[in-house]
Structure 1
Amino acid sequence: MRRTRSVRALLATLATLAASAGLVLTTGAAAHAATPLPAHVFAPYFEAYNGDSPAALAQQSGAKYLTMAFVQTERPGSCTTYWNGDTGMPIASSVFGQDFTTIRSRGGDVIPSLGGYAADNGGTEIADSCTSVDSIAAAYEKIITTYDVSRLDMDVEDNSLTNTAGIDRRNKAIKKVQDWAAANGRSVQFSYTLPTTTSGLGDTGLDVLRNAASNGTRVDVVNLMTFDYYDNATHNMANDTKTATTGLVGQLAQFNPGKTQAQLWGMVGVTEMPGIDDFGPAETFTTADAPPVLDWAVSKGINTLSFWALQRDSGSCPGTGGSDSCSGIPQDPWYFTHTFAPFTGGGSGPVTNDFSVSVAPGSASVQPGGSTTASVKTAVTSGTAQTLALKATGAPAGVTAALSPASVTAGASATLSVSASASAAPGTYPLTVTATAGSVSHTATFTLTVPGPGGDSGALVNGGFESASLAPWTCESGGALVTTPVHGGTHALKSAPTSAQTGQCGQTLTLSPNTHYTLSGWVQGSYAYLGVSGGATASAWTSSTGWSKLTVPFTTGASGTVTVYLHGWYGQSAVYGDDFSLT
């Protein structure tokens, strides 16, 4: 039922009266007991801003629990929270509600996270933005009751660490929600995610905990971001995780003198950043770091093991640091998820046999009458090697895709052979390679392009963005596939400019030398650029709230090599592209 203005005014009056009595007025769903999280849970962060389905990616990766990032206000001074501060993504069952229900049906759950670097830097973390403790508490309660969750995570970084008024409001609001939950028989935990040194929290992080203690606020978990140390040192990331958390346990003892060592370790959370973090190669969490961190986390009995972020668990951008969509190191898809997943529930008991599958290269262009091959690689991610049955599906009429051999032992490779007949229809087609052992299956995607008349063996691949990944496109931080807005099909490309980057997404093509081509595509957003660089230089741009078609004629140089790109402009909003073609 939609509330009228007079009812809202009445609620505001009641809220004022309640505040004077030290109460929190709740207008959301009635409180009841949500299912508590396991005592030991692996819950990687999920980037809620890139258009992915949490349930779909959880299923693909094998992550049962997710930490959803981030909830914030749409502007400084506001007391209303949205996912990513986007007013089109309110805290409502219509946004992510079905995904969360599906995740729970598979035995998992979600942890909404408030704040994050962008919000903490821009003043849109709700405790920094809103000056009413009761309004902040009501916003927390709304998230809890709307999604029936049993934990909220407070990601406090950057300016939020020195905003003493915001720190105090946040802890006072948490205390009110804890009192409300206790009075209504609801289990609710609060975790603080904080930056760290290699020996424990710095002074600003400790100030957050000191203020919590002064307000009588219970902190259930302190989750250290064991990356982005920015100390210009070369790091062994696994060892630094151990020294940072050992220091944290000593610090937690100061605030919890009655707890045993085991109980203090049970308050610890760790968030890694797989691959190359934002600082650069000196801070690289490798595939070799993950198993010892898992074993250590199990042995210490920590509460939460996580990483930033699920969408990064891919090796599709070797050498790239701080990407939102890949780790920057060679790895199998979902390697870190598969390695850390056994931690949930304690990491003890029988080890599940599991594996991964990948295809390299992940795409190719084949002329009608031509063929190509790719390597299908498998790996053991837990347990022992199993026999994997392989199959390839999704080939259109006139295209054949075969695997040799049709079964391998996990850890071995096979060859994917793809042929296009003379009658194969032009287009871009995602072929799915599936590996199956018993009831467990994993997939990888190979994107095939069959050029049309006047096409070229180096033709644009995945120009409609309908494959399961960006490949072979690469983007600056924030670039991603999205499901809305789209021009055609179900996906489009998002470019994410910032004050320091244009957000460029591109792919490099080898075309015929000294030949005239025309690049075309549909774009929308402020200062959306479509163009080529390298062996030719040409571009077109527009600012449009709806889809506009851009056409870019160019002539290749002696090498024939060009980079096709989409980008926005510094400090402007995101731009989108779809249905790119090259003739």
Structure 2
Amino acid sequence: MRRSLIAAAAVALTAAGVVFAVTPSAQAATAIPAHVFAPYFEAYNGDSLNGLSQQSGDKYLTMAFIQTASRGSCTVYWNGDTGMPISNATFGADIAAIRARGGDVIPSFGGYAADNGGTEIADSCTDVNQIAAQFEKVITTYDVTRIDLDVEDNSLTNTAGIDRRNKAIKIVEDWAAANGRTIQFVYTLPTTTSGLADSGLAVLRNAVANNARVDIVNQMTFDYYDNQPHQMANDTKSASNGLHSQLQQLYPTKTSQQLWSMIGVTEMIGVDDFGPAETFTIADANAVYAWATQQGIAELSFWALQRDNGGCPGGAASDTCSGISQSTWQFSHIFAPFTTGGGTPGSPSPTRTTASPSPSPSRSSSTPPATGLTNGTFETGSLSPWTGSLCSIVSTPVHGGSKALKAAATSSDNAQCSQTVAVQPNRTYTLSAWVQGSYAFLGATTGAGDTSTWTAGSSTWTKLTVNVNTGSSTSIKVWVHGWYGTGTIYVDDVALV
């Protein structure tokens, strides 16, 4: 990935290490969500993995890249740097911190520099068992359940390396099954606007021939270099439709939806390596997000987390900014709700359950306030004790009575409205609210963490409900909010019982 910039950023390669046996350990990590947003993190430039995860709110990250230190070696390191071995001393604490917040990482092997320079593990190492051992070492060291394989440039034409890689995948999948582990393999491949080129298809054909299960085919929907006009969101859709047809030929027993659930998309946000003619905009991001959610694809990503800022508007492709005018983390904020079962930036982790719309019953303004919570009906006409700079009371629309809460999210603020509520410790409460509008979130923060739910939205009132266990807390923060750049939501009849 990143045809010019990764190569420029690659560290100097040194002598190869020594392969050693890997002993399976008990698995602690949970599986990656079925639908996940996991942007690439440039692991080679010294940035803090956990720090940027916290700042961006991105709970799932794809870590680029793992490769050998020199051509012919069978030992991998982060970025091919012998000072960054595959061990808990390298990124282990950051990964643990990300997991503690409900997220996870996906280590990525390969990348353009490795694929171009012969240090991609299957190109470099001619022993299939040692390749498999390196995959297993990464899996057991970091307790991960998904491995990304970025195969491009020379690795697409190295038929011996392709065959070795797929044979190693089969060995690892059998090893994982025998040891009670979950492991998924993702092939990240370049694409045309109508689907994979034959070189990419050859990688998948060989996987089928070797009985190697490929869980996701992740297209790099950028750097087309075809000198054609591009509308990047439309190109993503046409490339994915083409890939769907290609997968149908490779996996004829799978249903259409099963094939869509094998598809991933990685954008290059802003200006890509080709230049301004291939620019992925904020509007493109919103369009791709809506399409990916509706289509039910498996993975949504972009290159790269460190580029998700407007630090160089009008510039060329860069590892540190997008080249367009944008707010910091704006692409992350757009794509984050795609994750099913994972967290979202700026809020506790939603459980991602969507309630069904229900008709609005009548309500008297004298309805008693909800148990444990004040002004949940907003009939006082005052915001207090709710707080929030983008929160206000309105008289329309309402779910019942004559007042409701308005939360007007912007591109840089999700408009959280909250109040602190006294509760009994070690009790499970039911928190509910009626909401209207796009991407409404409801949740509570306790001493033990966060619990929430959300809905993608409706023009009618929808009821959200989530159970909240107080643990040792005697007070909790109850909150509602919208989502960055998706407009205003309305909230009514909040109850905690």
Report the TM-score range of the alignment, normalised by the length of the smaller protein. 0.5 to 0.7
Deviation readout 1:49-82 (Å, 9 max, x if unpaired): 0101111100000100000000000010000000
- State the TM-score, normalizing by the size of structure 1: 0.57
Letter in 2 for 1:310: L
Listed as ranges, the matches of 1:337-348 within 5 Å are: 337-345=332-340
Partners of 2:24 and 2:88 in 1: CA distance: 11
CA displacement 1:190-214 (0-9 Å, x = unmatched): 0000000000000000000000011
- Asked if 2 retains the 8 angstrom alpha-carbon contact of 1:249 and 1:265, the reply is yes
Task: Name the counterpart of 1:91.
Answer: 86
Residue 439 and residue 300 in structure 1: after superposition, are their counterparts in 2 closer, same or farther (change >3 A)?
closer
Measured in 1, the distance between the counterparts of 2:58 and 2:188 equals: 20
- The residue identity in structure 2 corresponding to 1:195 is P
Q: Partner of 2:141 in structure 1?
A: 146
Contact 1:133 1:169 in 2 (8 A): yes
Which residue number corresponds to residue 123 of structure 2? 128
* 1:110 alignment partner in structure 2: 105
Max Rg structure: 1
The residue aligned with 1:452 is none
- Contact persistence 1:32–1:186 (CA under 8 A): yes
Q: State the partner residue of 1:278.
A: 273
| One-letter identity of the residue aligned with 2:181 | R
Return the alpha-carbon distance in structure 2 between the equivalents of residues 211 and 244 of structure 1. 21
Distance change (3 Å), C-alpha of 1:32 and 1:387:
closer
Matched, 1:305 2:300: yes
Q: Distance in 2 between matches of 1:301 and 1:252?
A: 15
Residue in structure 2 matching 1:169, options 148, 154, 164: 164
Is contact 2:39-2:305 (8 Å) kept?
Answer: yes
Q: Name the structure 2 match of 1:291.
A: 286
1:230-256 Cα distance to aligned partner (Å, 9 max, x none)? 000121000000000010011111121
CA apart distance, 1:100: 0.3
For residues 118 and 159 of structure 1, do their structure 2 counterparts lie closer, same or farther at Cα, with a shift above 3 Å needed? same
**Equivalent residues in 2 for 1:77-476, closer than 5 Å:** 77-345=72-340, 349=353, 380-381=410-411, 385=415
- Counterparts of 1:32 and 1:248, CA distance in 2: 33
Q: Please say if residues 339 and 382 of structure 1, whose CA atoms lie closer than 8 Å, have aligned partners that are also in contact.
A: no
Q: Which whole-Å deviations, capped at 9, do the CAs of 1:176-197 have from their partners, x for residues lacking one?
A: 0000001111000000000000
What's the counterpart of residue 366 of structure 2? none
Q: Secondary structure at the match of 2:119?
A: coil
The counterpart of 1:35, out of the listed 25, 30, 33, is 30
**Mapped partners of 1:192, 1:275: distance in 2:** 23
Amino acid at match of 1:75: S
1:438 CA drift (Å): 7.1
User: Does the residue aligned with 1:191 lie in a helix, a strand or coil?
Assistant: strand
Conserved in 2, the CA contact under 8 Å of 1:133 and 1:172? yes
- Give the letter aligned to residue 328 of structure 2: P
* Cα distance, 1:34 vs structure 2: 3.6
Gap change, CA 1:328 and 1:117, over 3 Å in 2 = same
What residue identity is the alignment partner of 1:342? P
One-letter amino acid of the structure 1 residue matched with residue 323 of structure 2 = G
TM-aligned CA distance change 1:166 to 1:346, over 3 Å? same
Q: 8 Å contact 2:416–2:479 — kept in the other structure?
A: no
Kindly indicate whether the alpha-carbon contact (under 8 Å) linking 1:29 and 1:146 is maintained by their aligned counterparts in 2: no
Please state how far the C-alpha of 1:320 moved relative to its aligned partner: 1.9
SS at match of 1:63: coil
- Contact 2:330–2:412 (CA<8 Å) still a contact in 1? no
| 1:426-485 deviation per Cα after TM superposition (whole angstroms, max 9, x unaligned) | xxxxxxxxxxx9799xxxxxxxxxxxxxxxxxxxxxxxxxxxxxxxxxxxxxxxxxxxxx
Q: What SS class does the counterpart of residue 99 from structure 1 fall into?
A: helix
| Residue 381 (structure 1) shift | 3.6
Structure 2 unaligned residues grouped into runs of 5+ = 1-17, 343-351, 356-387, 391-407, 419-477, 482-497
CA contact (8 A) 2:105 2:144 kept: yes
Give the drift of 1:318.
1.2
Distance, in Å, in 2 between the alignment partners of 1:355 and 1:281 is 37
Letter in 2 for 1:380: T
Question: Contact 1:33–1:187 at 8 Å: present in 2 too?
Answer: no
Q: 2:62 aligns with which of 59, 67, 72?
A: 67
* Secondary structure, aligned partner of 2:52: helix
The 8 Å contact of residues 34 and 186 in structure 1, kept in 2 or not, is answered as: no
1:464-516 deviation line (CA, Å, top 9, x unaligned): xxxxxxxxxxxxxxxxxxxxxxxxxxxxxxxxxxxxxxxxxxxxxxxxxxxxx
Percent identical among aligned pairs is 67
Amino acid across the alignment from 1:91: I
CA contact (8 A) 1:71 1:81 kept: yes
Aligned CA-pair RMSD: 2.6
Cα distance in 1 between the residues matched to 2:241 and 2:114 = 29
Query: How many residues end up aligned between the 2 structures?
Result: 347
What is the DSSP-based 3-state SS (H/G/I as helix, E as strand, rest coil) of the residue aligned with 1:380? coil
| 2: CA distance, partners of 1:63 / 1:175 | 31
The answer to which structure, 1 or 2, has the higher relative contact order (CA under 8 A, 6+ apart) is: 2
The structure-2 alpha-carbon separation of the partners of 1:193 and 1:39, relative to structure 1 and needing over 3 Å to count, comes to: same
Give matches, 1:428-577, under 5 Å. Answer: none
The structure with the largest strand share of the pair is 1
Whichever residue aligns with residue 45 of structure 1, its letter is Y
Q: Indicate conservation of the 8 Å contact 1:355/1:381, yes or no.
A: no
Unaligned 5+ segments in structure 1 are 1-11, 16-24, 357-377, 389-436, 441-583
1:387 positional shift: 7.8
Q: Deviations over 1:304-332 (max 9, x none)?
A: 00000000001000122220000000000
> Kindly tell me: are residues 383 and 295 of structure 1, through their superposed partners in 2, closer, same or farther at Cα, counting changes over 3 Å?
farther
